Every structure is written in structure tokens, then in C-alpha cells.
Amino acid sequence: MYITLPDVCPYENTTLCTTVYNCAIEILSDEDGILYEYRKDIIRQGGELGNILVTANIPKTSWGSTITVKCTIPDGCSLNGAENITLMPSEYSLRYGIINHEMDFVFSISIVGFSLFALLVMITTGKFASVEREGI
């Protein structure tokens, strides 16, 4: 996959973010060579690859050139693809994992919050200590 970058950098420090599944990835620039490389050694050894979050910093000298994204697929496997390639400010690049998963995140936090609230209510009202034993 080839990505042509604009001539001007939109942010002071820019990161290319994407996720790939079950493949090794290599990101190359015409100007700067290899920008990011991950898991080629595991493919040579025949190991398993999972879901990979890719965050590759784009140097200022690469703007105006072409970025190449190469995915290497292990033998006998299929590629889900490098999806949703996004250029983001570097300080926000770790938030890329929750993009398009905001409702899952809110739902999970809500369940944890409600569980902690219920536990607090049960502890303060003594519901754990009110076990009544009945005989025959």
C-alpha cells in the first residue's frame, strides 16, 4: 500500500497509526528508509502473530514523499488487513486503540462502576454478615 504525504506537516510531531492482524509490517519512506518494522523475525521462526497496534513516527523530511506499508503474511494464514490508517499528533497516538470503540469503553466502565457501587452498598449495609442459620 502506498500513501502520498502532503508537502506540509499538519502537526508538529505526526504519527502514522493503524492496526494489523496476523502479519509482520514494515513502513518505508522514500526519503528516510525504514520508519517502522515489526515481527519479521517471528515469521521466519514460524511463530504466531496477533493483533498489532502500529504507531510509526513520521520525520519532517518525509513530508511530500511516498510512504510504503508492506505486510508480510505467514505461510498458511490470511491477512485481515492494515485498516484505518490515520495520521495523528504523536501525543494522542496511544488513544488510537479506542477510536471507533467508544461505546464499548463506556459500557465496560459503566459495568465496573456499577459493580463497585453494589459492592460498597453490600459492605456498608452488612448484607454479607446477615446469613441466618436454621436448624431442623
Q: What is the pTM of this model?
A: 0.64
**What's the whole-number average pLDDT of the chain?**
81
- Number of Cβ within 10 Å of residue 127's Cβ equals 11
Confidence class for position 110, pLDDT limits 50, 70, 90: very high
Q: Rounding to the nearest 10 degrees, give the CA dihedral for residues 86, 92, 98, 99.
A: -40
Confidence class for position 66, pLDDT limits 50, 70, 90: confident
